[in-house]
Structure 1
């Protein structure tokens, strides 16, 4: 069956196919041309559009407190205590349910956050600029693995680490970025894909290259030598240090392709532990959701089947731009973390070519003769083929207050794409 005989062609009407193809070509070109440079660090309330003292941003599509998953609730409570708006768990839960706090998706505020994705007003965020199109994106600092806020933990240990990050790490990084040249995150991503990273669950090379860029300028700041040493050690030991600026880079680049009439290209895959949501370029301002699936999980020691929550986090922005699960072939060793074999990893990348529009000229795969990673998820192709986007992911405990339980594999639910295709047909018929 040819593309023009496909089910989506019938749904959308043949007369619109040319407009859709032109729109998708425009969207994919804008994404491929987009850049991502790290230019600074500041408090979220100072730079994120629409942020105020009573705003908490979260991962995934919109959701109210009553429907939030365990890890999202835990992160919200921890953030409220961190902000000084509540003194303990009981007060935080009462305040979260009171209606006084404004909960909004990070994506609706030019931002992204891993796992629960909670960004509160006093948290410092990376500022990523797309110089080609003039837009910006933001993400907070990475806490490392295990018992951390983004996995829904909020113990005294978690809050003390967050306080140290804001009081010590953030001022040093802010001063460092004021001294350094803008850091080209797109270039770091491109190089690291040749060094065994996938750009989602495996960011080892990216994080070390990022630290290499920062370290000389960190040492030139006037801060206490012991504090600088602790910051370098903390960032150097964290294999996911670069995940947050990577996510904001992906957001800045793919947002250049959002809001183009007639485009069927997906510009966000995201989840909040309750719902999975997608955004479509030609349908700005709309979310299309389905229940978040439960990942197939490889557990950390001490955890077992049944402990995991449902899929969660804005980090699927990585797959949206062709990384993570879509770039599995660049990181065969990731199967030791998420399961499967190296040949499975390559097959996943090949499969994702069936639902995408193009390949990225800068993000290439040595194993596949330097083909670009598959980019531009087309909602029509997902529905027509029945192939659901494949995602590598971290996994949080289902209950608030516990933290991470492992890594896993998951597929985006088809219902999101069916709803989006129906809405697209109704708008552009």
Structure 2
């Protein structure tokens, strides 16, 4: 299923291989820097106070179900847009509270990906191409989180703590430092055992080190807030994921080149998985939910796994995550599998990508660049489906495990059918 693009391009002028080379070059040259932290209402283009963003290809409110629907309701309650659950549902039904897709606002969301007006977001600029990418803050390692479809007093209090304590300190530190270059930081983290999707331990430490001089300068003015913030960062290895996602979004959005068959976004919702192609604008091509394999936390079973959204596969879109999992063999303890399987999966990805990343490299492969630039043509020709590292959500809310997913073939078939219709079969 897809949404048609309104503009037409002269197919006779399109050289697909040249378009792909240009899209890849733009992606490879991206230079993402985090420059600020600010409330969503202040920096996301077109954001409105009655708007709640969520992950995946945009859908009308009635189409959202399960944990993703509950997360939207929780976001409305947190923002004070409704007095209780029934009031929130009625206001979503009437349109008083609006639902939007994160990608339409240059943002990406983890799991359900809820953004409300007051939530602080990282502002990342791609210095090469000038475009921005945004991602909100990690709530903490408690399994019950808003992005996993939960909302209660504990979730509310943790979100307020982010708004009132953590984000102001981190934002002030970033501004004092004049921004932080994320690409070299990510490249170093890969050499230290991360793939910056499901493992961010090294990247989080490296980021903390980058802002430490500014944090020390701030300590005399706000010792309690600085102490709480640095302790939070020190004990939450997943903190950096939101920065890697925003960096990936700012990088991938620069890929837009008419006629390209390279994938510029991957995401899923409670309804299914979806992709965009760099050469087909803002069109989403949707398919069924992804194929999964994972490791569950104690006390949980396979039948509990549910889909409630997720845009962290933007990291795989730019050659990270599952496309760099041979950097992070310790993930087997967290998400299952074996080192041999992880290495084999990573090597598979070279068959479906345009090239190798000039910055992100895999030590185990003699520092070969990560496979980067998923080509929809190659996915269909080889039958190899993109692999992604993800957290697994439970039907009753919360995280119940972690693992790998594969994108469904249908998205790529639909995308290439539209591409052929517009640009011809060549």
TM-score (norm 2): 0.94
Contact 1:312/1:395 (<8 A) preserved? no
Shift of the alpha carbon at 1:362? 0.5
Q: What does 1:73-92 correspond to in 2, within 5 Å?
A: 73-92=69-88
Partner of residue 378 from structure 1, selected from 367, 375, 393:
375
Which has the larger displacement, 385-394 or 298-307?
Answer: 298-307
Which residue of structure 2 lines up, in the alignment, with residue 208 of structure 1?
205
Contact 2:263/2:373 (<8 A) preserved? yes
Q: What does 1:273-284 correspond to in 2, within 5 Å?
A: 273-284=270-281
Deviations 1:118-165 (A, max 9, x none): 111110100000111111111101112311111111010000010111
Contact 2:92/2:98 (<8 A) preserved? no
Contact 2:14/2:258 (<8 A) preserved? no
Shift of the alpha carbon at 1:266? 0.4
Quick one: distance in 1 between partners of 2:13 and 2:308? 34
Which residue of structure 1 lines up, in the alignment, with residue 182 of structure 2?
185
Which residue of structure 1 lines up, in the alignment, with residue 49 of structure 2?
53
In 2 relative to 1, CA 342–163 (structure 1 residues): closer, same or farther, beyond 3 Å? Answer: same
Deviations 1:203-252 (A, max 9, x none): 11001111111233123225431221111111111111000011000011
Which residue of structure 1 lines up, in the alignment, with residue 38 of structure 2?
42
Quick one: distance in 1 between partners of 2:162 and 2:371? 36
Which residue of structure 2 lines up, in the alignment, with residue 340 of structure 1?
337
Quick one: distance in 2 between partners of 1:166 and 1:366? 38
Aligned to 1:34, the other structure's residue is in SS state: coil
Contact 2:291/2:408 (<8 A) preserved? no
Structure 2: gaps (5+ residues): 1-10
Shift of the alpha carbon at 1:17? 11
Which residue of structure 2 lines up, in the alignment, with residue 167 of structure 1?
164
Which residue of structure 1 lines up, in the alignment, with residue 137 of structure 2?
141
Structure 1: gaps (5+ residues): 1-14
Q: Is 1:316 the counterpart of 2:317 in the alignment?
A: no
Deviations 1:101-129 (A, max 9, x none): 22121111111111101111110100000
Which residue of structure 1 lines up, in the alignment, with residue 422 of structure 2?
427
Q: Aligned residue pairs: how many?
A: 412
Quick one: distance in 1 between partners of 2:199 and 2:206? 14
Quick one: distance in 2 between partners of 1:233 and 1:190? 25
Quick one: distance in 2 between partners of 1:322 and 1:332? 17
In 2 relative to 1, CA 80–404 (structure 1 residues): closer, same or farther, beyond 3 Å? Answer: same
Contact 2:149/2:308 (<8 A) preserved? no
Which residue of structure 2 lines up, in the alignment, with residue 256 of structure 1?
254
In 2 relative to 1, CA 215–89 (structure 1 residues): closer, same or farther, beyond 3 Å? Answer: farther
Shift of the alpha carbon at 1:32? 0.7
Shift of the alpha carbon at 1:294? 5.5
TM-score (norm 1): 0.93
Deviations 1:334-359 (A, max 9, x none): 11111111111111111011110000
Q: CA RMSD in A?
A: 1.6
Contact 2:81/2:97 (<8 A) preserved? no
Partner of residue 90 from structure 2, selected from 94, 100, 105:
94
